[in-house]
Every structure is written in C-alpha cells, then in structure tokens.
Structure 1
Amino acid sequence: MIQMTGYEKNERRRLFALGCLLGAAVFFLLYGLSPLDVTNDAWLRGGYIEADIQQHYAGWMFYRQSELSIPFCFSDRINWPFGLSVAFTDSIPLFAALFRLLEPFLPSVFQYFGLFTLLCFVLQGGFACLLVGLFSRRTPIVLLGAVPFVFSPVLLERAFRHTALAAQFLILAALYYYIRGRREGRFFYPGLFAVNCLTLAIHPYFAPMTYALTFALFVEHAVFHKQFAKPAALLAANLGCTALVGWLFGLFSGGSASGGSGVQYGHFCMNLNALWNPVSRGMGKWSLFLSAQNQTLGNYDGFNYLGLGMLLCSVAVVIVVLRWHRSSILKCLKNRFGLLFVVLCLTVFAVSNVITANGAVLARIPLPQFVIQLATTLRSSGRLFWPVYYLIFTCCVAALIRLTRYQKQWVQTAVIGVLCLVQLVDLSPALLEKAGSFRPYSDAGSNLLSQTDSSLAALLDATEGRYQHLVALGPLKTTGLSLALYTADEKMTSSDTSFTARYDEAQAQQRQEEFVQAITEGAMPQDCIFFTEQEETFLAVAQAAQDQGAWCGVLYQRTGDETRFPLVYVIAPGLEEFTHPLAMEFSENYPLHLANYSDDFWDHGILSLNLESIGRQEDANRVVLFYDTPFTRQKLEGATALSDGEGGVYPILEVSDQDAGWLMVTLEIDDAHCLYNESGQCKDLEVLS
C-alpha cells in the first residue's frame, strides 16, 4: 500500500483550494450575488427555469413551521394528517435540518438554495482539481483541466432547477477515490466513506452512483490483492451508516415508490443521442454549433450533452488509442474490469428497457412486473449515466495530458486550452442565458397567484384566515405548487401530495375518499377548503357541499390567445359569495362536459376507435361519454337533446348506464367531435327537455 508524503498532502490541499476558488468564480460569473441573498425568494416563487424549484422551497417552508423531531426533516404539515419527509420535496435534507435547528435566529423569509448551489460549484471545482491532479503535477494544467468539469452541462442544467442534483461533486469525489485506491492499493478512505453516507442527506439518486464506483474499487481490490473479508466488512459498515443517515434525515418516513409522477421506469430514460443532443428542459439553446435533435417520452430528464469540445476530444482520443495504443488500452480495460462492469450496468440502466433514438421508440423490452416496480424507485434513469459522463470527461483530459506529457509545458497548456476554448464557445449560448437569468430576475410566470387577473388569487384573498387546512380531492397537477406556497405562507396544513416526489398512494386515495364521503353525508369540515382538478369529483359532491353552506364553483385561467380553460374546482365552506370574471358558481344551470377519457375505443369521450372489433361501426362518433355523477344523472333525466350553445342542437336517442361509473349517450349527430372547440376543450353543453 502506497502512502502519500507530507509534500503530496500539502500539494493536494493547495490544488483543492485553487479548485474551490475556480468553482466559486464560475458561480459568480454565471449567477452573480442575487441567489445568495437569503431573504430574496422571488426567483423561487416565480419558478426559475421551471416550477420544480417551488416544490423545494415549499417543502422547506412547511418544515420550518413543524415541530423538531428525530428523524429530522419530517413535517406533519405536508400530506396532512399523516405527514411526510421533506426529503420527498427535494428540499436538501442536510440543509433543511441544519437551518431548522437555527430557526429561532432566521429572518421570516429565508432560503438556502443559493448557498447550497454555491457550495456545489465550490466543491465541484475542488474535486475536479484533485481528479485532474492525479494525472499532472503542473498547476496551470490542472486548473485548465478542471474547467470543463465546473462548466459541465449536466451541472449547469440541474443548478436551480433540481437544486439538490447539483451536488455532482459527490461523483467526482468517488471517481477520485477510485483512481487513488487503484494506484495506492487501498480500498478504505474516510473521505469515500463520508461521500457515500452524505448522498442520502442530499439526494438519494447519488447513492447508486457513488456506490457503483465504490463497488468497482472493492471488486478489483479483492481480486488483485486477495483480500475480501476486511473490504467486505468495511463496505457493509458503509452501507449500514448510509442507511442510518437515510433514516436520520427522514428518507424512510412516509415515502413510497407507489406515488409520485405517475410514470414508471423507462419513461425518463436516456435517448441514444443524448451525448450529442443539446436539448434540455427550460433552456433555449445549449450549443452554438450543433442543432437540436428530436426526443421522446421523458428524454429531457436524461440530458447528458457532452459539449463539442468533449465530443471532438473523445473521438480523437479513441482514434489515437486504437491506432497506436491498442495493446495498452486492452490491458488497462482488463485491469479495470470492475469499473467496466459498473459502466456497462449504469449505461444499460440509464437507457432502460424502453430504447429510444431521436423521436422514436426502437424497442420495449418486456421485464417482470416486480423488476419494473423495483427500478421505478429510480425512475429518472437517465441520471444514472452521470458517473459514466464524468468518467468520459476524466478520460479525455487524462488522455490529452498523457499524450503531451513529454512536450514543453506551453504545448501541453495550449492543447488543454484549446479543449476548454472549444467547449466554452460551444456552450456560450447556454452560459449567456444563465448569466442573464438573475440580472435582474424576471418572474417566469409559473406561480399562478402572481399572474394578472388571477381568479385563484382572488378567491384565496377572499378566504384569507378562514381555514386551517387545504384538502385536495385529487391530484393538483396544475395548481399544486402555487397552492403549496400559499398554504405554507398562511401556516396552513395541506393534504395535497402532488408536489411531492414520493408518497403512499393508497393512503392518499383513502384519505380523499373519506373527505368525499364526509361531504356527501353532510359532515363537511368547516375548517378545510377543498380543491380538485377533476370535474367529475367536483360534481359528485358540489350539491351536497352547497347545501351545507359552501361556495362551490370552477375557476378559469386565460391563455395567451384569451381562451379560457378550467383551472381548478373549489369548495369553500362558509364563503357566502364570490364573484370574478374568471369564476363560475355551481348551480342548476352549470353546463355538462364530456368525460375526457380515451382508450382503444374512446377518443376524449367519443366512441370512435376500432369499432369493427366490437361490431359497433354504426355508433361511430355518435355515442358520447359522461361521468356518472348525481348532477349529470339529474340533468340527463328526461332530456331530449343537447345544445352546444353555438346553435347546434343534437337529439338524444338513448342514455345508458350499463357500465358502472359512466353514462353513455347516443346522439343524432354526424360527428360528436364538433362538441369540442378549436383549443381542444369540450364546449359548455346544455340539456333541452
């Protein structure tokens, strides 16, 4: 086992410090000082880049109002009345717990996401210099070689979007310890042990990434040094401590893979074009030279663009190695069989069983359901490529250093400098966009409460201070984040789980059914305000709620072309009156709408697809579908025709309730798709008797 000398330790400390300064400089260059103002939360509320940052901030706001407990990060104000860990709102558990302890000393408005991201850039630079320093003793070369790492596209793409995922220094640290371990014949490093434990205190997706590299080091060390028992015991201890950290920061408190975005493993996969496709969520342009290519499904979350500099360098290195160093590279790969194995596993997992290329799905490889359920725990699989991504960066920089090691320093500096220049020039559109995003920050408009003429904001103003709890009678996919911020501001609790990454789906469904039952049985809680984005749920309880003195209605939102569409349905107990140009109160004159339901036969509530297989060709585009609610059933009873309010009157030939939960209405109509307007919304339908 090789030990470092005192000089080498001091040199590495110096490189780490210089790298930290480099990372800090890049942060200030891109974002300035604005995000470091802990009392400035406008960019968080406005949804910087996209609305997910609102989720992170709302989780922290709920947690700072909650009682301190062990495990940390558990808030009974989210997923009320059961509670949930803010680890599942991606609120960075380590920082949430730290600043919750300091709550008595914090200002009323406090955000730590700018400080955390600065720390990520600082440590990204520090570990990048340590990593490159393993291949060169020349400080200018090391600093230049670290530049692509601190300007990494995947780092810039996640910073202030999925803030916790900016902690990619964890991957660089694991890579650094892997290479050191192989060189020094060591398996155990306190730093690597700490890195693995830290993953669950920041974001659980980092755990399989750093442990993959740890496993590679463990396997290779066991084979080449004929040692298994001690490294295995240390690895088991590391896993145990990591699990303890996960428990301490609430990762095992109320979360479940059963609930979340509603998609399974394979949706957020990595496209086969990811390394050269400069396309991501919320950014106009990543590359000055390469054009955007198509994607499909959730490929945007598998963003892994290398940058033109790294792409060209990768190709050049592969050509040189295959032409002049084939035997040495084969020997290297043989000696790194553990690393090669985890690279293969991470890549396969990232691509997933749903293989996509450009805008096409090439294949869907069937997997057992239990495998799908297990893999769905890490359903954003494209992220798992990041260790391979940074390994490519490391190999490119290391190869350039090795290939020019006998040249004068200025030649080596020039070669690495050209790599950095091409990389940064290519990324310049994204860098300029990032640099302008906070100077000054302009509201992205994703907070529905800050928009002009917001009916939702007006209703919440009218009910301010009236309620203690916000109850979601279904997923609030559009309004959930804005309502979460409002609820936290008002120090209310929220039963909504739509803004959390994981929750117990069965538990949430049971709770919603209990509230619906309470309303319909005349026992509606008066200290709760109810929201749903599902009209059928609203219509199932609206009449009963109105009979108990609640204001019931739908709130609309206008689009850019002045078209209005339903935003959310509201039941507000005790609110006697509310009027707004974009609100409609529930009454006997409330219109009907087709069920927005599609399957192999139904197209948005119209029977029109594959009818020859069931022998109903004559019903094509004539049978329409409604949810079976008391209100709808009452309206259709004795009705003779439907009117679309624009002069179209369509006689009703038959009403059938043979399928539970549905009312199927046969109309005398050529094509029921005319019941939808140009914007794809169902027209307001009236019944004629």
Structure 2
Amino acid sequence: MQKIKYKINNTYNKLNNSIIAYFIMGAVLGIIAFCGIYGVKVLNFTNVDWLMSAGDLTQHYIGWEFFRDSPWSFPIGMSNNYAYPIGVAIPYTDSIPLFALLFKLIEGILPQRFQYFGLWGIMCFALQGGIAAIIFKKYINNIMLVLVSTSFIIINPIMLRRMFNHTALASHFIILIALAIWVYKEKFTTAKSKVLVWTSVNIVAILIHPYFVPMTMTIMLGFIIDDFINFKKVKDGIMAIVTSIASIAVVFWIIGGFTGESAEAIGLGDFSMNINALFNPIGWSKFLTKDLPLAKFEQYEGFQYLGLGIIILIPICLILFIIRNRSNIKSIFTANSIKRFIEKYTPFFVVFIILFFMAVSNIITINSHVIFEYKFPKYVEIIFNIFRSTGRLFWPVTYIIIFALIIYTITRFKSKKSILAIMILLLVIQTADLSHKLIERRNYYNSDVKFDYILKSEFWDGVGENFEHIMLIPTYTNTYSHMSRLATDYNMTLNIGSFARGPDKQIGKIAAVTVGELKSGKSSDDTAYIIQSYNILEDIMRNSPKDMYTAVNIIGNVDNFFVLYSNKDFSIDKYKDDIEAYSSKDFVNINFENYIDELSELDDNIAIMISKKGGSLEAITKKELEQLKELGVKSDLSKISGKNYSSVILPRNSNNTVEKVESNNVEINMKPGKDLGGNILQRTIVLRSGEIKSEAYSNLLFNNVQYSMNREGLNIVVYDIKNDKVKNIASFKLKDNNEGNLMRCK
C-alpha cells in the first residue's frame, strides 16, 4: 500500500513540475469544452454548408475557396480570380492567412469542397487551455486548482462570442502566448531569445489577423519595460521592437496586405469600448438580464464581459486584501510602499493605459453618456482608422484582470480544499450565467445546417461550362454566396465579393464602364453578365441597338436572375423551359391611376409589395388614394412626407395588410411557410425603407435578390404567392406627375 501511495505521489509530483504536462492537460480540457459546445460536425473537412449559411463565415470560407483555385503569384496571398479583374488579398477576406497558405500548398490532394475553420476552432480552444494552464502553473502549485482556473479562460465570453462569428478574431491564444512569454521572462534573458520569440509571435499575429498586432506589440512593450526595470537592458528591447516591426511589414507585404485600396475605414469612435464593458453582458448573462446602455450601438465591438463568476471574485479579492492587511493598513499607503508598488507594476500600468486609450479611442463614454471627446491629430487619426473597431484592443487587459483575480484569490487561501470548493462553485456560476449562449451554439452547430442553393436550373451548369467570367452589375453582394459557388465549382472568375478592405471602388468603376458598353451593344463572349438592378436592366434594354439582346445576344430571367450573354456557341435550347426571354417591349411607361386599375383586377393569389424611397408623393390624387384604400392601403400616402414606408397588401384580404410608417428605418421580414391570405409563402421576403448616411433606399428582396427599382417615390412588386412568380415591377416618383415605369415579368 505504501509503495502504491509512493508511486501515486511521485507521479503527481512529476506532473506538477512538468510544464508540458500542464499544457497537455489544459489543451485536453479545451478540446473537451469545444466538443461540448460546438460538437464534431464542424470538424468534418468537407462539411461546408454551415459556413455558406452564416454571414461573416461565408465571407471567410469563400475567400479561401477562391484563393485555393487562384494560381500562385506575388504577392503570394492574392486571389486573382476573385474581385476580378483587380484581385483581392487573403487578409481582406479574413480567411486566416496562416492556414490558407498552408493548405494551398497541398491544394492538389484536397477534396473539391474543403474547409479548415472547424480545425482552427478546436485548435484555438486547445491552445487557449494549454497556455492558460502554463500561466496559472507559475503561481498555483496544485493541478486541480490550475485546471479549474483554466476552465474560466476557456469559456471566456470574449472568445466564445467571436468563435465561428469572426473566427480569426477568436484566436485569443496568441494573446495568451504573449502574456506567457512575459510571465516566464526569466527564460528569455538573451538578446537573441527575446528577438526570436517576440518576432515569431508578431509574425503569427499578422498571419492570423492584423488586429492582434497592436495587442501583442503592446504586451511586448510591457515585457521590455519590465526587463529594463529589473535588468537595466535597453538594447535588447529596441532590437526586439525594430525586428518585429520590420518582420510584420515584410510578411504583410508578402501576403498582399498592402494591395487594398486604402487601409483607412470610417467609423472611428463608433466601434469603441464603453467604460462599462467589463460588467455589461450585452445579452450574454442569464442572470444579469438587463444590459447596461451604450452611447453608440456599434460599441458592441467593445464587448469585454467578465462573466458573473469572475465578477463575484472582485469583492472576494477586496475582502481578502482587507483581511490580510488589516493590521498594517496604514503602512500600505506610505510613500515607500506606493513607490515600490508603482515600480513593480509600472509595466502593467503602461499596457493598461495604452490599450485603454486605444480601445475607447477619441470618445470616452460610460453607459449612454459621452464623458469626453477629443480630436486626434490627422496622422494619428489615419493610424487609428486602420483599426476602427478599437473596442477589441482591450482584450489583453481583460485577460490580465481575470488571471490576476483568480491568482490573487487562490494564493491568499491556506486551505486548498476550501478554495477548490469555492472556485468550483464560481465556475458553476460562470457556466450557468453563460449557459443560454452555450446551449444556443450547441443546438445550432449540432443541427443539420443546409445551404439553400438558389441556382436550381441546369442552365447554370451550362454557364459554368461555356464561360470564363461571371460579372454582377451593379456590384451588390446580396447573392454573392450563390454565384461564388458556381464560380468556384467551374473555376470561373467573379467580379464581386465580401471584403474587409477590398478593391470595391475599382470594381464599381469597372461595372459602370461595362454598363455603357452593354448599352452600345458590346459584350464579351467569355462573360456571363448578371444584371441585378432593374434600373440598369431597363436602361440597357431601352438604349441598346434595336433587338440587340433578343437576336444576336440573349437576355433572360433564370431562377430570378437576369442573365445577359453573347456566346453564340452556347445553345440554350435544352434550357428554354427555364429561361424567360425579354425585349424592350416589356418595359413601358404607365400612369399611376391606370396601374392601380390593373392591380384592382388581379386575382386572390396576389400580394402587392410597396417600399418608399424618400420623396413626398405630392402628386397622388384623391381618386388614387381612394383606389389604394380599396386595395388595402391603410395610410394616407400623401401625408407621409419625411417618413419611411413599407407594406404588404393583399387586395382580396385587406384585413391582413402589413404596413409600417415611421420616421426611422422600417423593415418587414417574412419567412417561407407564412400564411398570406390562404396562400403559403415560398420565399424569404424582406421590405425595407429608410436612409443610410443621408442616402435614401428602397429594398424589396426575394431570397436576397433585389426586385426594387430603388427609385425615388414608390417602388412596387406584384407577386403571385401561389405560383411563386413576380408578375410585374414598377416605380412612381409621384412628385411632379403621375407617370412611372413598369416592367412586365413573364
């Protein structure tokens, strides 16, 4: 028995003294947490549907797909087939350049559809746990306490909120690596080791996401100041800084980081951190159900919520501090004590001050109040505009606070059993506080998420086999995920995409030039043009040479996309049942009163979708108002000047009219399966009316395809619900006269 006990104790002591063992245990804990929250379906390399159906994730995955298909060139991070013909660099699709470059090296053996984002996610959790365990080991000499403490870091809200939302920004392990280097500073005493380790960390940071660079660089500065205070070494720190900056610049250049139009982005101060950030759950607490107010909506980017378990540690630490120092409380505030405290913690204060003022940027706010606002010098503003979502930059300080609270609490308790019980209880509270978000993620990522690919016709396979380029005009990105799948499946180029700071202006200018060419009858045989604006479609049809696009060229509606092409070798006979051909005769001028008369004669299956763009609608007559009222319009449209308006009218079921009139932006959102007057909706339909940056807009989106003419006044779509067909599209300015434009759909 004694021998067994001896062996157990001996094994425990070996584990307790091994950094590698702590790393492995922490990493295993991270992997278990990941699988418990996200499941294993996301780890399937060929499962991409969950990425194609999820906002930013779609941007990241599509960026990788185009990059893998693009031939190697310099800079090596360029996708020349995406944002064609300009091209876009992999950093601007947030596709995690580090993994994108690694997997492109073996692209030839990868399956047609391949994703590494699930692998990156589980790796983030493993490294988060492993590195956190190493940091805690430095101060806590107990395996169980280290593992419980590590669990707080693994299920940290600020990382969980980013995972599979903005996956690259969930790579918080790079912050922990930088902190671990600082914690174990005694292992990096030579100039060579300091330069090597910090340069490596900063290179990895830029290969993950540029936002991590100011964080790791600031932590490095804290390390250097600490090194100077303790060892009076200046040269080593300068070498580390210079080498890191040079390496970051070179690596960013190599991967194409300097190819974007401009590194500046509007919104400085909007995406900042509110001073209440550490205690503001913004929907992430099950118990603190009332969120604290924000001065700006965009301050969600400054999310730093600690979690209820960690928040409870704050008063516990204060009580422990008072108990520990109650007999000599006065000596703590002597000049010598304060001096020693400042000297000891100066590096941390520097890191805190730098990251705090970077995070709050030029607007200091608490709750909904702006405390102080100042203007940066122009050169500083340019730098800050590069990192406009400054609220993120406080993450390292949040981690330092969590580590400090946990370590201080544990090291002040003599009874390991008592503090272990307390920490487990706090971990249970922390987990329970976040449980609704954890369950939400588990349910979603363990479900069978399917991408609803809307290009149903075999016609699109013909496009893929006969054309080299897809060009969407104008460069709306509502449906880019569907066109991207077509393009990547057939190794075609695509002119649009979703980019962080891509060549959007250049792409827009090229599209505008192309419209002029199409109007004059010029089109490329190797390009399929997707016309996404009814204004442009009408302009081309009315102004191009007579019958140009019904004789030599083809224009038609396929799966609710208007396609124009001039490849004479592409026979459409086999697809003729899928194509609705159009000519200039389908675009007519019409009086509003006559149009309403037509609407009055429609059958029971019809819904009339209306969205207003700016305008005062002064020209509406009393007769027309009466006609609209009979159709089911409840508001007096002549009196909604300065307001936004959207409605869904069912002429034969006017009691079911859905109508919104507000000074603010309005939106009506209807999902498939909704009962509209006895007919079941088959598409997602979104109506919007409002203003963005002083520019009015009108949206009538059917499965993300824009049907609104988006012209001043009323934009109207008549939709056959039962047969899932758009009957006609119209717009009426109704300011000076009652004339408008109508497109009759086939």
Q: TM-score, normalised by structure 1?
A: 0.77
| Aligned partners of 1:63 and 1:75 also within 8 Å | yes
Shift of 1:116: 1.0
Which residue, out of 47, 69, 82, partners 1:40? Answer: 47
Matched, 1:346 2:359: no
Q: Against the structure 1 CA distance between its residues 580 and 455, is the aligned structure 2 distance closer, same or farther, given a 3 Å change threshold?
A: farther
| Aligned partners of 2:199 and 2:243 also within 8 Å | no
Partner residue of 1:238?
A: 244
Partner residue of 1:403?
A: 412
Q: Against the structure 1 CA distance between its residues 675 and 239, is the aligned structure 2 distance closer, same or farther, given a 3 Å change threshold?
A: closer
Q: Percent identity?
A: 27
Which residue, out of 217, 221, 238, partners 1:215? Answer: 221
Which residue, out of 101, 104, 125, partners 1:100? Answer: 104
CA offsets, 1:165-184, max 9 Å, x none? Answer: 12101101111112222798
Structure 2: runs of 5 or more not aligned: 1-12, 593-611, 631-636, 648-658, 660-667, 669-688, 690-697, 699-713, 717-729, 733-737, 741-746
Matched, 1:110 2:117: no
Q: What SS class does the counterpart of residue 525 from structure 1 fall into?
A: coil
| Aligned partners of 1:59 and 1:89 also within 8 Å | yes
Matched, 1:152 2:151: no
Shift of 1:589: 2.5
- Counterpart-to-counterpart distance in 1, 2:499 and 2:360: 25
CA offsets, 1:641-685, max 9 Å, x none? Answer: 997995599xxxxxxxxxxxxxxxxxx955556986435453434
- Counterpart-to-counterpart distance in 1, 2:92 and 2:623: 46
| Aligned partners of 2:591 and 2:739 also within 8 Å | no
Q: Against the structure 1 CA distance between its residues 500 and 585, is the aligned structure 2 distance closer, same or farther, given a 3 Å change threshold?
A: farther
Q: What SS class does the counterpart of residue 470 from structure 1 fall into?
A: strand
Partner residue of 2:135?
A: 131
Partner residue of 2:656?
A: none
State the AA in 2 paired with 1:111. Answer: Q
Greater Cα shift, 349-358 or 322-331: 322-331
Going by fraction, where is strand more abundant, 1 or 2?
2
- Counterpart-to-counterpart distance in 1, 2:538 and 2:293: 41
| Aligned partners of 1:455 and 1:580 also within 8 Å | no
- Counterpart-to-counterpart distance in 2, 1:23 and 1:505: 39
CA RMSD of aligned residues (A): 3.9
Partner residue of 1:514?
A: 513
| Aligned partners of 1:524 and 1:548 also within 8 Å | no
- Counterpart-to-counterpart distance in 1, 2:339 and 2:419: 26
Partner residue of 1:422?
A: 429
- Counterpart-to-counterpart distance in 1, 2:558 and 2:411: 64
- Counterpart-to-counterpart distance in 2, 1:297 and 1:592: 43
Matches within 5 A, 1:159-198: 159-181=163-185, 188-189=193-194, 190-198=196-204
Which residue, out of 246, 249, 254, partners 1:248? Answer: 254
Matched, 1:229 2:235: yes
- Counterpart-to-counterpart distance in 2, 1:8 and 1:221: 30
Q: What SS class does the counterpart of residue 15 from structure 1 fall into?
A: helix
State the AA in 1 paired with 2:270. Answer: H
- Counterpart-to-counterpart distance in 2, 1:286 and 1:582: 52
Kindly tell me the number of residue pairs found equivalent between the two proteins: 599
Partner residue of 2:468?
A: 468
Matches within 5 A, 1:347-496: 347-358=356-367, 365-404=374-413, 407-443=414-450, 449-450=452-453, 454=454, 460=460, 463=463, 465-496=465-496
**Higher RCO structure (Cα 8 Å, ≥6 apart):** 1
Q: Against the structure 1 CA distance between its residues 643 and 178, is the aligned structure 2 distance closer, same or farther, given a 3 Å change threshold?
A: farther
| Aligned partners of 1:269 and 1:380 also within 8 Å | yes
Q: What SS class does the counterpart of residue 30 from structure 1 fall into?
A: helix
Q: Against the structure 1 CA distance between its residues 674 and 465, is the aligned structure 2 distance closer, same or farther, given a 3 Å change threshold?
A: same
State the AA in 1 paired with 2:341. Answer: C
- Counterpart-to-counterpart distance in 1, 2:239 and 2:110: 43
Q: Against the structure 1 CA distance between its residues 314 and 584, is the aligned structure 2 distance closer, same or farther, given a 3 Å change threshold?
A: farther
| Aligned partners of 2:613 and 2:644 also within 8 Å | no
Partner residue of 1:16?
A: 23
| Aligned partners of 1:182 and 1:217 also within 8 Å | no
Greater Cα shift, 91-100 or 461-470: 461-470
Q: What SS class does the counterpart of residue 471 from structure 1 fall into?
A: strand
- Counterpart-to-counterpart distance in 2, 1:329 and 1:92: 45
Partner residue of 1:502?
A: 501
| Aligned partners of 1:321 and 1:329 also within 8 Å | no
State the AA in 1 paired with 2:275. Answer: L
CA offsets, 1:89-112, max 9 Å, x none? Answer: 111111111111111211222111
Partner residue of 2:301?
A: 301
Partner residue of 1:277?
A: 280
- Counterpart-to-counterpart distance in 2, 1:292 and 1:569: 46
State the AA in 1 paired with 2:269. Answer: G
Q: Against the structure 1 CA distance between its residues 555 and 396, is the aligned structure 2 distance closer, same or farther, given a 3 Å change threshold?
A: farther
| Aligned partners of 2:320 and 2:412 also within 8 Å | no
Q: What SS class does the counterpart of residue 589 from structure 1 fall into?
A: strand
Q: Against the structure 1 CA distance between its residues 267 and 590, is the aligned structure 2 distance closer, same or farther, given a 3 Å change threshold?
A: farther
State the AA in 1 paired with 2:200. Answer: A
Partner residue of 1:88?
A: 92
Query: Is the radius of gyration larger for structure 1 or structure 2?
Result: 2
Partner residue of 2:677?
A: none
- Counterpart-to-counterpart distance in 2, 1:430 and 1:210: 29
Shift of 1:250: 3.0
Q: Against the structure 1 CA distance between its residues 541 and 215, is the aligned structure 2 distance closer, same or farther, given a 3 Å change threshold?
A: farther
| Aligned partners of 1:132 and 1:398 also within 8 Å | yes
- Counterpart-to-counterpart distance in 2, 1:351 and 1:644: 51
Which residue, out of 254, 264, 268, partners 1:265? Answer: 268
- Counterpart-to-counterpart distance in 2, 1:402 and 1:385: 26
Shift of 1:24: 1.1
Shift of 1:571: 4.8
- Counterpart-to-counterpart distance in 2, 1:61 and 1:265: 32
Q: Against the structure 1 CA distance between its residues 476 and 642, is the aligned structure 2 distance closer, same or farther, given a 3 Å change threshold?
A: farther
State the AA in 2 paired with 1:438. Answer: Y
Shift of 1:255: 5.7
Matched, 1:287 2:286: yes
Q: Against the structure 1 CA distance between its residues 212 and 548, is the aligned structure 2 distance closer, same or farther, given a 3 Å change threshold?
A: farther
Partner residue of 2:35?
A: 28
CA offsets, 1:118-154, max 9 Å, x none? Answer: 1111110111001111211211111111110011111
| Aligned partners of 1:606 and 1:623 also within 8 Å | no
Which residue, out of 596, 600, 606, partners 2:615? Answer: 606
- Counterpart-to-counterpart distance in 1, 2:274 and 2:458: 43
Q: Against the structure 1 CA distance between its residues 458 and 141, is the aligned structure 2 distance closer, same or farther, given a 3 Å change threshold?
A: same
Shift of 1:533: 5.5
CA offsets, 1:549-578, max 9 Å, x none? Answer: 166689999xxxxxxxxxx87655568998
Shift of 1:415: 2.8
- Counterpart-to-counterpart distance in 1, 2:739 and 2:622: 5
State the AA in 2 paired with 1:605. Answer: G
| Aligned partners of 2:168 and 2:208 also within 8 Å | yes
- Counterpart-to-counterpart distance in 1, 2:531 and 2:421: 61
Q: TM-score, normalised by structure 2?
A: 0.71
- Counterpart-to-counterpart distance in 1, 2:74 and 2:259: 10
Structure 1: runs of 5 or more not aligned: 1-5, 558-567, 594-602, 608-620, 625-639, 650-667
- Counterpart-to-counterpart distance in 1, 2:386 and 2:116: 27
Greater Cα shift, 671-680 or 416-425: 671-680
